[in-house]
Amino acid sequence: MVIAKIIPRKHGSGRFKDSVNYNLGLSRNDTDKVEYVNTLNIFAPEVAVAEMEALALENTRSADPVFNCILSWREHEIPTREQTDEAVGIVLKELGLEECLTHYALHRNTENLHLHVCVNRIDPETYKARDPAHGWTKKALEKAARKIEIAQGWEIERTGRYIVTENGEILEKAREDEKIKLSQTARDIEAHTGEKSAERIGQEAAAPIIRNAQSWEELHICLAEQGIAFECKGSGAVLHVGETVIKASQAGRDISLSKLEKRLGAYRDRDTFVLLHPARPEAVERVAAAPKVKGSWEEYRKAKAKYHAAKKDALSELQKWQGTERKILIGSQREERVSLFRVSWQGKGAELNQRRSLMAAKQQREKLDLRDRQKEEREKLKKRFPHQFPSFKTWLSLDDDPELSALYRYPGQFVLFAGGGEGTPAGERNFDLRDYFPVFGERRGGVMYRRNGSKRNTADFIDYGKKIVVSDKLDKFGVLAALQLASQKWGTVQLSGSEEYKRLCVQLATKHNIKLANPELKAEIEAARKSDAARINPEVGQRVTFRVHNSETKLTGKVVAIDRETGTVTLRAGRLTVPVITAKGYFTEAVPLEKTHTKEYACERAKTYVGENGFVFFARGEGIYRGPIMEATPTYVIQKTGEDTMTLHRRTDLKSFDEKLLGNQDVVIRKAVGMGIVCIEPRPIEKGKDKGWGR
């Protein structure tokens, strides 16, 4: 997955120098973050700044010749230098800047490899300033990102304004299908607090209310119940979500003031009796989806509220006391000045002037001392209460349970940690990772592991020292290799991830004797061990159940043939003969069916309606069957299709069946190949096309 983003332009001299120095890691003395540097349409990288600045001077009318953007890959995606060059070429072509002077650098100082691109917009031939993509820069960058994903085989980003078809065609979504994207500020707020931003609440809660409102009064009342206020401001409208104000258009394109006035009439303010309910903070999806993380988020909110309340009280108390001190000083100095004139200074003008000068100097020193002391008290308060409370991400990282941070930081991905057992020695183990090779020197000191022979430059897992982050592809071999590495390092392994991922880990850990530390998985581990012990090698004539690995799919039948060269076992299940590949699953003894589930039981029940001399048929193939439904067993439906004839239908052959049909005298079952339809009110059957009262 590739994400493209525009960097806001900066005005002023030395613009290209600043951008290039940042690309090279010189501006912040952080050259270690630079993975790869290259240029395009420039004579040599060493003269990039001089050449780009010189070309910019050829166009005196363009006040802003610099264009900067960023390309970012997913955490497990590792572009090569050739792929980096190819990505830059695709972006420049989509922007219409392929002939412009370009400097770019690949950085690894964050969780994701990302590429900084600096372009001189001045055309080297005409000296005219080019407008990237004729003003449609964001659309062009997003389309370029999809093209890079297709060309280089990265995972396709499904959100955004473009979709990629199965044949690789890039299509723009219909405008009504395209959701309004959250601003970068709103996304940053959600990542920092774990709480839905005002923009998201506006889109999810306010927008549907506004669209369904039939009057201004209804609109204001319904919004107030959600703690949201709609207000006319200037020529537009705004939404007050708690203490945050957003534009109404940020919640939906169709809820602007002009469009609402066309539908609801002239704007009316909220009535005074309509009171706003307190805003209810909501957790973002990645928090709400994990109960453990949501519980920690509730504690975080309480701690944050307590922190800000304590900070507010301490600041208020300090301000109150410092104000009192200033009033006392001002009063005492005023009294001192008044007392100076309580005596007569007639004929002592020179002495009075001296006294007044000394008093003014003394009082000014007192004021300065008080100001400095109060400033020091405020600085101490700032140190006691930092400007910002720690972010939710930081809060989780400080928790003793590493799974909380992993569930929030890597939603949908899978993380391994050192197990919680004390003194569990790793010992000598025969695990190896021969199918994987490490990639060193990556971001945050992590070691990426890629499979030998893989055509895609994606890592199946990354070892960050105290944790191993596994790709969300849920690849059995990658998960096994990560488990083996974790077991070798820590002895016992703690899992964090989806239930499907944990089930796979339990199966692999049971098979390869890897110790898991998750207490909630003890029952599954025990069941997996029993299942592993129950596996058998099938023999011809034996009734077995074939179970597919990592799936609930199973097939029960009688073994009729075994081909050991191809690893295929042929089962007869009912009327079907199915070959199964043993490598895709395993065999266990078949569990005997309960009596009520058998065909014999259904026949016995059918005989009770027609007697021993009656006939019982099994509905097969195509046909039309008419008559009352007498009874239904767990596996068969029993229908009376004649005076002395009963027909049995497999429940699995019927598309729909309702127990309410029992006893109904007018039921028609029209069967086609592989399909059955139950009609409560049958259509008239044409004469000669009815296949009779049974088959």
Whether 461 and 602 map to the same domain: the answer is no
d(CA 123, CA 351): 80
Q: What is the 3-state secondary structure of 381-407?
A: HHHHCCCCCCCHHHHHHCCCCHHHHHH
Tell me the CATH number at 567: 2.30.30.100
Domain termination site, one of 250, 280, 310: 280
d(CA 413, CA 410): 5
Domain of residue 35, residue span: 2-177
pLDDT in the model for residue 690: 43
Whether 77 and 167 map to the same domain: the answer is yes
Q: Is residue 245 part of a domain?
A: yes
Q: Average pLDDT in the 110-114 region? A: 83
User: Can you point out the beta strands (E) in 369-480?
Assistant: 414-418, 436-439, 447-451, 461-463, 467-470
pLDDT bin (cut points 50, 70, 90) of residue 29 is confident
DSSP states along 352-366: HHHHHHHHHHHHHHH
Average pLDDT of the chain is: 81
Whether 42 and 173 map to the same domain: the answer is yes
Domain count, the chain: 5
Whether 6 and 79 map to the same domain: the answer is yes
pLDDT in the model for residue 417: 61
Q: Is residue 220 part of a domain?
A: yes
Contact 414, 470 (CB under 8 A): yes
Q: What is the pLDDT of residues 513-541, one digit of tens each?
A: 788 888 888 777 777 776 666 677 788 87
Residues whose CB is less than 8 angstroms from the CB of residue 483 and which lie 6 or more positions away in sequence, other chains included: 416, 493, 505, 508, 509, 512, 514
Whether 572 and 600 map to the same domain: the answer is no
Can you tell me which residue has the tokens 């097939």? Answer: 555
pLDDT in the model for residue 5: 76
Q: Average pLDDT in the 485-492 region? A: 84
Distances (CA, A) of 549 to 509, 559, 564, 582: 14, 19, 20, 10
State pTM to two decimals. 0.48
Q: How does strand 675-679 pair with strand 668-672?
A: antiparallel
Q: Is residue 473 part of a domain?
A: yes
Distances (CA, A) of 632 to 123, 494, 649, 658: 80, 48, 9, 10
Domain termination site, one of 238, 254, 280: 280
d(CA 129, CA 65): 7
Other CB atoms closer than 10 Å to residue 293's CB: what's the count? 24
Q: Average pLDDT in the 478-505 region? A: 84
Tell me the CATH number at 149: 3.30.930.30
Whether 467 and 608 map to the same domain: the answer is no
d(CA 258, CA 238): 13
pLDDT in the model for residue 683: 46
Q: What is the pLDDT of residues 170-223, one digit of tens each?
A: 888 765 445 677 888 888 888 888 889 998 998 888 999 998 889 999 999 999
Other CB atoms closer than 10 Å to residue 561's CB: what's the count? 12
Whether 171 and 89 map to the same domain: the answer is yes
Of 627, 692, 638, the residue nearest 665 (C-alpha) = 627
Tell me the CATH number at 611: 2.40.50.140
User: Can you point out the beta strands (E) in 282-403?
Assistant: none
d(CA 217, CA 305): 34
Q: Is residue 333 part of a domain?
A: no
Rounded (10°) CA dihedral 312, 314, 317, 318: -110
Q: State yes or no: pLDDT of 10 exceeds 60.
A: no
Domain termination site, one of 254, 280, 306: 280
Q: Is residue 654 part of a domain?
A: yes
Segment holding 392, helix H or strand E: helix 392-397
Of 546, 502, 544, 545, the residue nearest 527 (C-alpha) = 502
Q: Is residue 343 part of a domain?
A: no
Of 213, 222, 228, 221, the residue nearest 263 (C-alpha) = 213
Whether 585 and 460 map to the same domain: the answer is no
Q: Is residue 37 part of a domain?
A: yes
Whether 655 and 609 map to the same domain: the answer is yes
pLDDT in the model for residue 135: 87
Other CB atoms closer than 10 Å to residue 493's CB: what's the count? 24
Burial class (CB in 10 A: 0-12, 13-18, 19+), 69: buried
SS3 content of the chain, % helix, strand, coil (to 5): 40, 25, 35
Q: Is residue 422 part of a domain?
A: yes
Whether 112 and 241 map to the same domain: the answer is no
Whether 17 and 38 map to the same domain: the answer is yes
Whether 19 and 160 map to the same domain: the answer is yes
Contact 267, 232 (CB under 8 A): yes
**Helix, strand, or coil (residue 214):** coil
Amino acid residing at 675: M
